[in-house]
Protein backbone atom coordinates (compact mmCIF):
# COMPACT_ATOMS: atom_id res chain seq x y z
CA UNK A 1 0.00 0.00 0.00
CA UNK A 2 1.31 3.45 -0.86
CA UNK A 3 2.02 5.89 1.95
CA UNK A 4 -1.13 7.66 3.08
CA UNK A 5 -1.67 11.39 3.57
CA UNK A 6 -1.58 10.91 7.35
CA UNK A 7 1.66 8.95 7.20
CA UNK A 8 3.26 11.55 4.93
CA UNK A 9 2.13 14.41 7.13
CA UNK A 10 3.45 12.94 10.38
CA UNK A 11 6.71 11.98 8.66
CA UNK A 12 7.07 15.58 7.47
CA UNK A 13 6.39 16.90 10.97
CA UNK A 14 9.02 14.56 12.39
CA UNK A 15 11.51 15.75 9.78
CA UNK A 16 10.76 19.35 10.79
CA UNK A 17 11.30 18.47 14.44
CA UNK A 18 7.95 19.78 15.60
CA UNK A 19 4.54 18.62 16.68
CA UNK A 20 1.52 19.29 14.51
CA UNK A 21 -1.78 21.09 14.96
CA UNK A 22 -4.95 19.03 14.57
CA UNK A 23 -8.12 21.11 14.32
CA UNK A 24 -11.66 19.91 14.92
CA UNK A 25 -14.74 21.60 13.52
CA UNK A 26 -18.26 20.29 13.12
CA UNK A 27 -19.34 19.76 9.52
CA UNK A 28 -22.16 22.14 8.64
CA UNK A 29 -21.75 24.43 11.66
CA UNK A 30 -23.32 26.96 11.61
CA UNK A 31 -24.40 26.26 8.01
CA UNK A 32 -23.01 24.36 5.04
CA UNK A 33 -21.53 27.28 3.10
CA UNK A 34 -19.83 28.85 6.12
CA UNK A 35 -18.45 25.50 7.26
CA UNK A 36 -17.03 24.92 3.76
CA UNK A 37 -15.29 28.31 3.83
CA UNK A 38 -13.71 27.49 7.20
CA UNK A 39 -12.61 24.06 6.02
CA UNK A 40 -11.01 25.41 2.85
CA UNK A 41 -8.94 27.96 4.77
CA UNK A 42 -7.72 25.75 7.64
CA UNK A 43 -4.53 24.47 5.94
CA UNK A 44 -3.26 27.94 5.04
CA UNK A 45 -3.94 29.01 8.63
CA UNK A 46 -1.67 26.24 9.87
CA UNK A 47 -3.82 23.15 10.45
CA UNK A 48 -1.66 20.09 9.78
CA UNK A 49 -4.47 17.54 10.14
CA UNK A 50 -8.22 18.25 10.03
CA UNK A 51 -10.81 16.42 12.09
CA UNK A 52 -14.31 16.98 10.75
CA UNK A 53 -17.14 16.14 13.10
CA UNK A 54 -20.08 14.19 11.72
CA UNK A 55 -23.13 15.87 13.31
CA UNK A 56 -25.21 13.56 15.47
CA UNK A 57 -28.28 14.22 17.60
CA UNK A 58 -26.91 12.46 20.70
CA UNK A 59 -23.16 13.17 20.96
CA UNK A 60 -22.81 11.67 24.43
CA UNK A 61 -19.02 11.90 24.73
CA UNK A 62 -18.98 15.61 23.92
CA UNK A 63 -19.45 18.62 26.12
CA UNK A 64 -22.06 21.36 25.69
CA UNK A 65 -20.12 23.33 23.06
CA UNK A 66 -19.73 20.48 20.58
CA UNK A 67 -23.24 19.22 21.35
CA UNK A 68 -24.56 22.67 20.45
CA UNK A 69 -22.47 22.73 17.26
CA UNK A 70 -23.95 19.39 16.20
CA UNK A 71 -27.47 20.66 16.80
CA UNK A 72 -26.78 23.90 14.89
CA UNK A 73 -25.53 21.87 11.95
CA UNK A 74 -28.47 19.46 12.02
CA UNK A 75 -30.94 22.32 12.31
CA UNK A 76 -29.33 23.87 9.24
CA UNK A 77 -29.97 20.67 7.28
CA UNK A 78 -26.60 18.92 7.60
CA UNK A 79 -26.42 15.21 6.77
CA UNK A 80 -23.69 12.60 6.55
CA UNK A 81 -23.88 12.81 2.77
CA UNK A 82 -23.30 16.56 2.91
CA UNK A 83 -20.32 15.95 5.20
CA UNK A 84 -18.83 13.74 2.50
CA UNK A 85 -19.67 16.41 -0.07
CA UNK A 86 -17.69 18.92 2.02
CA UNK A 87 -14.65 16.66 1.89
CA UNK A 88 -15.04 16.15 -1.86
CA UNK A 89 -15.18 19.90 -2.38
CA UNK A 90 -12.09 20.38 -0.22
CA UNK A 91 -10.19 17.76 -2.19
CA UNK A 92 -10.80 19.66 -5.41
CA UNK A 93 -8.44 22.31 -4.02
CA UNK A 94 -6.24 20.37 -1.56
CA UNK A 95 -5.07 16.81 -2.11
CA UNK A 96 -2.42 16.93 0.61
CA UNK A 97 -3.96 17.81 4.00
CA UNK A 98 -5.29 14.72 5.83
CA UNK A 99 -8.97 14.70 6.82
CA UNK A 100 -10.32 12.44 9.54
CA UNK A 101 -14.05 12.09 10.16
CA UNK A 102 -14.93 11.95 13.85
CA UNK A 103 -18.22 10.99 15.40
CA UNK A 104 -20.57 8.17 16.29
CA UNK A 105 -21.55 4.90 14.68
CA UNK A 106 -25.29 5.46 14.31
CA UNK A 107 -25.17 7.75 11.24
CA UNK A 108 -22.69 5.41 9.54
CA UNK A 109 -24.83 2.36 10.33
CA UNK A 110 -27.90 4.14 8.95
CA UNK A 111 -25.99 5.09 5.78
CA UNK A 112 -24.79 1.48 5.39
CA UNK A 113 -21.23 0.52 6.32
CA UNK A 114 -20.09 -0.68 2.91
CA UNK A 115 -21.74 2.23 1.10
CA UNK A 116 -20.26 4.71 3.59
CA UNK A 117 -16.72 3.36 3.32
CA UNK A 118 -16.83 3.49 -0.48
CA UNK A 119 -18.28 7.01 -0.44
CA UNK A 120 -15.75 8.19 2.15
CA UNK A 121 -12.81 6.90 0.14
CA UNK A 122 -14.19 8.37 -3.07
CA UNK A 123 -14.62 11.75 -1.35
CA UNK A 124 -11.03 11.77 -0.06
CA UNK A 125 -11.42 10.87 3.61
CA UNK A 126 -8.24 9.51 5.20
CA UNK A 127 -9.41 8.06 8.49
CA UNK A 128 -12.17 7.59 11.03
CA UNK A 129 -12.54 8.20 14.75
CA UNK A 130 -15.73 6.57 16.00
CA UNK A 131 -15.94 7.11 19.72
CA UNK A 132 -18.68 4.64 20.63
CA UNK A 133 -17.22 1.49 19.03
CA UNK A 134 -14.80 -0.32 21.38
CA UNK A 135 -12.18 -2.78 20.06
CA UNK A 136 -14.47 -5.67 20.98
CA UNK A 137 -16.74 -4.56 18.12
CA UNK A 138 -14.04 -4.18 15.46
CA UNK A 139 -15.97 -6.35 13.03
CA UNK A 140 -18.74 -3.72 12.85
CA UNK A 141 -16.69 -0.97 11.21
CA UNK A 142 -13.00 -0.98 12.09
CA UNK A 143 -11.97 -4.12 10.22
CA UNK A 144 -13.99 -3.25 7.07
CA UNK A 145 -12.56 0.29 7.16
CA UNK A 146 -8.97 -0.91 7.43
CA UNK A 147 -9.57 -3.45 4.66
CA UNK A 148 -10.94 -0.68 2.46
CA UNK A 149 -7.85 1.48 3.03
CA UNK A 150 -9.02 3.92 5.70
CA UNK A 151 -7.12 4.52 8.92
CA UNK A 152 -9.05 3.71 12.08
CA UNK A 153 -7.86 5.98 14.87
CA UNK A 154 -8.51 4.96 18.45
CA UNK A 155 -8.74 6.94 21.67
CA UNK A 156 -6.64 6.21 24.73
CA UNK A 157 -7.32 7.81 28.12
CA UNK A 158 -5.59 8.11 31.52
CA UNK A 159 -7.45 4.95 32.57
CA UNK A 160 -6.28 2.90 29.57
CA UNK A 161 -3.73 0.83 31.47
CA UNK A 162 -0.88 -1.30 30.13
CA UNK A 163 -3.07 -4.39 30.13
CA UNK A 164 -5.75 -2.72 28.01
CA UNK A 165 -3.48 -0.80 25.62
CA UNK A 166 -2.57 -3.73 23.31
CA UNK A 167 -6.29 -4.33 22.67
CA UNK A 168 -6.86 -0.64 21.98
CA UNK A 169 -3.92 -0.56 19.58
CA UNK A 170 -5.05 -3.59 17.59
CA UNK A 171 -6.12 -2.40 14.10
CA UNK A 172 -5.33 1.21 15.05
CA UNK A 173 -3.38 3.18 12.45
CA UNK A 174 -2.64 6.74 11.36
CA UNK A 175 -2.16 7.99 14.90
CA UNK A 176 -3.47 7.39 18.39
CA UNK A 177 -5.55 10.12 20.01
CA UNK A 178 -4.72 10.51 23.69
CA UNK A 179 -7.56 12.07 25.67
CA UNK A 180 -5.53 13.82 28.35
CA UNK A 181 -8.28 14.12 30.95
CA UNK A 182 -11.30 12.10 31.99
CA UNK A 183 -14.81 13.27 31.21
CA UNK A 184 -16.52 15.07 28.34
CA UNK A 185 -14.85 17.36 25.85
CA UNK A 186 -14.25 20.99 26.67
CA UNK A 187 -13.08 20.62 30.25
CA UNK A 188 -9.78 21.62 31.86
CA UNK A 189 -6.41 20.76 30.35
CA UNK A 190 -3.91 18.28 31.74
CA UNK A 191 -0.54 19.47 33.01
CA UNK A 192 2.51 19.35 30.77
CA UNK A 193 4.21 16.82 33.02
CA UNK A 194 1.18 14.52 32.92
CA UNK A 195 1.05 14.74 29.12
CA UNK A 196 4.77 14.02 28.81
CA UNK A 197 4.46 10.95 31.06
CA UNK A 198 1.44 9.68 29.14
CA UNK A 199 3.07 10.13 25.75
CA UNK A 200 6.20 8.33 26.97
CA UNK A 201 4.08 5.41 28.21
CA UNK A 202 2.15 5.18 24.93
CA UNK A 203 5.36 5.29 22.91
CA UNK A 204 6.46 2.22 24.82
CA UNK A 205 3.56 0.32 23.22
CA UNK A 206 3.38 1.73 19.69
CA UNK A 207 5.36 3.43 16.95
CA UNK A 208 2.26 5.37 15.91
CA UNK A 209 2.24 9.16 16.32
CA UNK A 210 0.45 10.34 19.46
CA UNK A 211 -1.90 13.33 19.22
CA UNK A 212 -3.07 14.84 22.51
CA UNK A 213 -6.35 16.68 22.98
CA UNK A 214 -9.02 17.90 25.40
CA UNK A 215 -8.79 21.27 27.09
CA UNK A 216 -6.27 23.02 24.81
CA UNK A 217 -7.36 26.62 24.33
CA UNK A 218 -4.35 28.92 23.99
CA UNK A 219 -1.25 29.05 21.78
CA UNK A 220 0.89 28.48 24.89
CA UNK A 221 -1.07 25.35 25.82
CA UNK A 222 -0.85 24.08 22.25
CA UNK A 223 2.90 24.73 22.27
CA UNK A 224 3.35 22.88 25.58
CA UNK A 225 1.60 19.80 24.20
CA UNK A 226 3.28 19.96 20.78
CA UNK A 227 6.68 20.04 22.49
CA UNK A 228 6.17 16.51 23.85
CA UNK A 229 3.51 14.92 21.60
CA UNK A 230 3.35 14.42 17.85
CA UNK A 231 0.37 16.79 17.64
CA UNK A 232 -1.94 18.95 19.71
CA UNK A 233 -5.68 18.64 19.05
CA UNK A 234 -7.96 21.66 19.46
CA UNK A 235 -11.71 21.16 19.20
CA UNK A 236 -14.01 22.72 21.78
CA UNK A 237 -12.23 26.08 21.79
CA UNK A 238 -12.42 26.20 18.01
CA UNK A 239 -16.12 25.36 17.99
CA UNK A 240 -16.65 28.12 20.54
CA UNK A 241 -15.00 30.55 18.10
CA UNK A 242 -17.69 29.61 15.59
CA UNK A 243 -20.39 30.31 18.16
CA UNK A 244 -18.79 33.66 19.02
CA UNK A 245 -19.17 34.70 15.38
CA UNK A 246 -22.92 34.16 15.27
CA UNK A 247 -25.21 37.16 15.03
CA UNK A 248 -28.22 37.83 17.29
CA UNK A 249 -30.32 35.81 14.85
CA UNK A 250 -28.09 32.76 15.34
CA UNK A 251 -26.78 32.99 11.79
CA UNK A 252 -23.17 33.44 10.69
CA UNK A 253 -21.95 36.99 11.24
CA UNK A 254 -19.81 38.82 8.72
CA UNK A 255 -16.54 38.21 10.57
CA UNK A 256 -17.15 34.61 11.67
CA UNK A 257 -14.84 32.85 9.21
CA UNK A 258 -12.02 35.35 9.65
CA UNK A 259 -12.31 35.08 13.42
CA UNK A 260 -12.04 31.30 13.36
CA UNK A 261 -9.12 31.35 10.93
CA UNK A 262 -7.25 34.02 12.93
CA UNK A 263 -7.64 31.85 16.03
CA UNK A 264 -6.28 28.79 14.22
CA UNK A 265 -3.35 30.85 12.95
CA UNK A 266 -2.49 31.88 16.53
CA UNK A 267 -2.56 28.25 17.65
CA UNK A 268 -0.39 27.24 14.69
CA UNK A 269 2.12 29.94 15.56
CA UNK A 270 2.34 28.54 19.09
CA UNK A 271 2.78 24.98 17.85
CA UNK A 272 5.48 25.99 15.39
CA UNK A 273 7.38 27.82 18.10
CA UNK A 274 7.62 24.61 20.13
CA UNK A 275 10.47 22.30 19.23
CA UNK A 276 10.17 18.74 20.39
CA UNK A 277 12.59 17.53 23.00
Which is nearest to 261 in space by CA: 238, 230, 231? 238
Q: How far apart are CA 237 and CA 231, in angstroms?
A: 16
Report the sign of the C-alpha dihedral through residues 23, 1, 103, 204, in that order. negative
Report the number of secondary-structure helices (H) and strands (E) in the chain. Answer: 12, 9
Per the annotation, the verdict on 62 as an active-site residue is yes
Sign of CA dihedral 12, 91, 78, 251: positive
**Is residue 189 helix, strand or coil?**
coil
Between CA 95 and CA 148 the distance in angstroms is 19
Catalytic entry in 51, 138, 230, 240 = 51
Name residues whose C-beta falls within 8 Å of residue 198's C-beta, 6 or more positions apart in sequence: 158, 178, 180, 190, 212
One of 7, 29, 48, 62 is an active-site residue; which one? 62
Active site members? 51, 62
Amino acid sequence: MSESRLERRFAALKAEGRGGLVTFTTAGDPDYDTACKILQRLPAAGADVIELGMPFSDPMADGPSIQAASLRALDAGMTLQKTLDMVRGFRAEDDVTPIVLMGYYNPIYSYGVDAFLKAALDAGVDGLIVVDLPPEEDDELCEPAVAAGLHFIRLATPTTDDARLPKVLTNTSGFIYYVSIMGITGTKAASGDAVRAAVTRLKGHTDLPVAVGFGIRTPDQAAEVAAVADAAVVGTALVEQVKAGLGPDGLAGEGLVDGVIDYVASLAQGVRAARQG
